[in-house]
Each structure stands twice: as structure tokens, then as C-alpha cells.
């Protein structure tokens, strides 16, 4: 058998391999596939930060909404001695009634006169985002937040007094301009309820 293999080794065999045209077609196909993969990777990389921006916006909105919802919701400003007993705006000192807007004398983060009632946050805006003490947070300088308060006692709670319930809307704007909105509700209840 060894001898037979040697005899055939001298004969002509058909050439095995690829031609130049086949090589060029192969390179073109691989190049097109590679360009497609790189385009997908490029798009994924460009938008990978968007998820982080949304997560940061959601964390800011949740934190600010919780801060507002945890504040007292009384007829009078909590600084008013009648705040605990008042059952309407008439029971408050005139200067201590909860006007439905952000009070000029109070500010978030102030140690002497902080925002101390849900209604105090109406039309409150902060840019850049700050912690509860009014200190800027590094890494969040491009974010801003706005709080809007809407009286919804009649539409949300179904009661005659529209001031008995509030809708709190926190809107956070990310550095890329994308806005995230989060809503919460707060009802006035005893002993200062309606």
C-alpha cells in the first residue's frame, strides 16, 4: 500500500484553494457584517447614559416628593400657635395662613425659617439640585426640579372642600433636557380635617 501512494503522488491533482474573486467577495461580506455590528455598538454606547440620567431623575423626584409629602398639611403655617386647633383659614393668624404659594420668608434648607408645610412647596424650583440642607450635590449640577401643588379635594376625594386634598407634582429636568414627572397626593385629616 505504501508503494501505491508513492505512485499517485507524482500524478496531477486538481488545485485546492480559493481564487482571488472568492477572496474579495469574502472580504466584502465580512466588512459589511462588521460595519453593521459596529453601528449597533455605537448606538448602544451613545444611549447607554440615558438610563443613568433617567435613574438619577427618578431618584431626585422620589426624594423631593417624599420630602414634601412628609410635611404637615394644616390650615395655618406650623409656626402659627393656632396651627394645631384651626379648622379653617379663619382660625389662623392672618400672616400665618397657608397662602397657596411658596412663602417669601421661608426657604428650603434654612435653619431659622424652613419650608414647613406641604403648601409651602407650591411653585418651588431648585436648580441645581440640592440636598435638604440647601447644599449642592456634586454630580447633579445639570439637574433641576420643580414642585407644583394643585388643590384636588373635590375631584380626587369627592368632598365639597377643594382645599382638603392636594396633588403634588415634581418635575425633574435632566442635563439632556429630558423631563420626568412624578405625582403624589396628600389629604388633610383630623384634627384639622374638614
Chain segment 99-126, per-residue pLDDT in tens? 555 566 777 877 788 888 888 888 889 9
Q: Is residue 127 part of a domain?
A: yes
Q: Is residue 17 part of a domain?
A: no
Q: Is residue 177 part of a domain?
A: yes
Q: Nearest Cα to 168, choosing from 188, 187, 148, 152?
A: 148
Q: Is residue 176 part of a domain?
A: yes
Q: What is the mean pLDDT of the chain?
A: 81
Domain that holds residue 67: 48-187
Q: Is residue 16 part of a domain?
A: no
Q: How many CB atoms sit inside 10 A of residue 132's CB?
A: 12
Q: Is residue 28 part of a domain?
A: no
Distance CA 63, CA 67 (A): 6
Who wins on pLDDT, 135 or 125?
A: 125
The pLDDT tens digits of the residues spanning 151-177 come to 888 887 777 878 788 999 999 999 988
Q: Is 193's pLDDT higher than 60?
A: no
Q: Is residue 4 part of a domain?
A: no
Q: Is residue 108 part of a domain?
A: yes
Distance CA 171, CA 57 (A): 9
**Predicted pLDDT of residue 174:** 92
Distance CA 44, CA 38 (A): 10
Distance CA 24, CA 47 (A): 35
**Count of domains forming the chain:** 1
C-alpha cell at 57: 431623575
Amino acid at each position: 500500500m505504501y508503494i501505491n501512494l508513492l505512485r499517485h503522488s507524482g500524478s496531477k491533482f486538481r488545485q485546492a484553494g480559493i481564487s482571488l474573486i472568492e477572496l474579495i467577495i469574502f472580504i466584502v461580506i465580512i466588512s459589511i457584517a462588521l460595519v453593521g455590528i459596529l453601528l449597533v455598538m455605537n448606538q448602544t454606547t451613545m444611549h447607554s447614559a440615558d438610563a443613568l440620567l433617567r435613574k438619577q431623575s427618578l431618584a431626585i423626584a422620589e426624594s423631593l416628593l417624599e420630602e414634601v409629602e412628609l410635611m404637615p398639611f394644616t390650615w395655618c403655617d406650623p409656626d402659627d400657635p393656632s396651627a394645631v386647633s384651626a379648622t379653617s383659614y379663619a382660625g389662623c393668624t392672618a400672616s400665618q395662613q397657608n397662602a397657596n404659594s411658596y412663602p417669601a420668608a421661608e426657604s428650603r434648607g434654612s435653619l431659622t425659617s424652613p419650608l414647613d408645610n406641604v403648601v409651602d412647596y407650591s411653585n418651588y424650583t431648585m436648580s441645581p439640585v440640592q440636598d435638604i440642607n440647601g447644599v449642592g450635590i456634586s454630580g447633579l449640577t445639570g439637574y433641576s426640579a420643580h414642585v407644583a401643588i394643585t388643590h384636588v379635594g373635590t375631584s380626587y376625594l369627592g368632598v365639597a372642600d377643594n382645599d382638603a386634598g392636594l396633588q403634588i407634582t415634581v418635575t425633574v429636568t435632566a442635563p439632556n433636557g429630558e423631563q420626568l414627572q412624578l405625582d403624589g397626593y396628600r389629604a388633610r385629616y383630623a384634627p384639622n380635617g374638614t
